[in-house]
Amino acid sequence: MRSFYFLLAILVFTALTVSAQIGFGPEVGFNLSNYTGKEAGKKISNSPKYGGMFGGILELELSDHFFLLPGLFDYRNGYAKSFAGGTQTYAINTIEVQLNLEYKFGPPKKVKFFVGAGPYFDLNYDGVVVTSVVPVYSTYDLKIGNDAIDNIKHFDIGVGVFAVYQITRGLFFRARYQYGFLNMLPQGNAGNSLYNRSFSLSIGYMFPGDLKAKQKTPPPPPRREIEDGRR
């Protein structure tokens, strides 16, 4: 783990020192998430939950095609499970830090399609549980922690992969899939588990407005010096 953080620090330092090409911008969209796992050794089948997501990204140029893409987002994750006579929906508010490596296809000033991947780090900070037994609905605050009475743990780590299509200079659409590594069930084990899986679609705008579709300005032509008295 120390080696990972050491390499990460080198990568960030390199990006900040060797390149002045830094972009930034907002991103907003919707998220479809689910938590899968086991209960008493048997695979559970929960239903996905829709939610929103918003945040912002930085784009640090490593070369004409490779970019480091840190991001900070607020996600609405969750899932729903059915029981006899009703359903129970878990809505989870999550702060997420992303660190992606992105590759852009084609010549720098004509690039339209990007792909990337990288780790993410989640902090679940809030949420609600809605129990529906028609016509009765009840809600209570989500319990977050590692105790047996809690609903879900605070922290998750995973990896995400994504594809981006650039519409105009700066405007882009992103599709992203995320795969959580940690068992999010408090007091969980191999036979009792919950793992986060999610898919998001978002739209964003990168300032200064070209998403690194660089357009290099040719140098000015050399000046002709005219000697006094010559035509």
Digit-coded pLDDT (tens) for 37-54: 999 999 998 999 999 999
The predicted model scores a pTM of 0.80
Determine, yes or no, domain membership for 225. no
Computed over every residue of the chain, the mean pLDDT equals 85
Domain hosting residue 181, numbered range? 21-205
Asked if pLDDT for residue 15 goes beyond 80, the answer is: no
Q: Report d(CA 24, CA 170) in Å as an integer.
A: 10
For residue 153, the one-letter residue type is K
Determine, yes or no, domain membership for 228. no
Determine, yes or no, domain membership for 177. yes
Please name which of 183, 179, 184 lies closest in space to residue 200, comparing C-alpha atoms: 179
Which CATH number goes with the domain that contains 142? 2.40.160.20
Determine, yes or no, domain membership for 176. yes
Q: Which DSSP symbol is given to 205? A: E
Please name which of 161, 174, 160, 162 lies closest in space to residue 205, comparing C-alpha atoms: 174
Cβ neighbours around 182 below 10 Å, total: 16
CB-CB contact of 114 with 91 (8 Å): no
H or E segment to which residue 3 belongs: helix 2-18
Asked if pLDDT for residue 203 goes beyond 80, the answer is: yes
Determine, yes or no, domain membership for 215. no
Question: Which 3 state secondary structure label does DSSP give 16?
Answer: helix
Question: Which 3 state secondary structure label does DSSP give 199?
Answer: strand
Determine, yes or no, domain membership for 108. yes
Determine, yes or no, domain membership for 216. no
Question: What confidence tier does 152 reach under pLDDT thresholds 50, 70, 90?
Answer: very high
Determine, yes or no, domain membership for 10. no
For CA atoms 221, 225, 226, 231, give the dihedral sign.
negative
**Number of residues assigned to the chain:** 231
**Cα dist from 183 to 13, 135, 160, 194, whole Å:** 32, 34, 17, 5
CB-CB contact of 29 with 50 (8 Å): no
Q: Report d(CA 36, CA 184) in Å as an integer.
A: 10
Q: What is the mean pLDDT of residues 113-139?
A: 94
Q: Report d(CA 73, CA 26) in Å as an integer.
A: 10
The tally of domains found in the chain comes to 1
% of the chain residues with pLDDT over 70: 80
For CA atoms 98, 99, 105, 107, give the dihedral sign.
positive
Question: What six digits make up the tokens of 97?
Answer: 């830090």
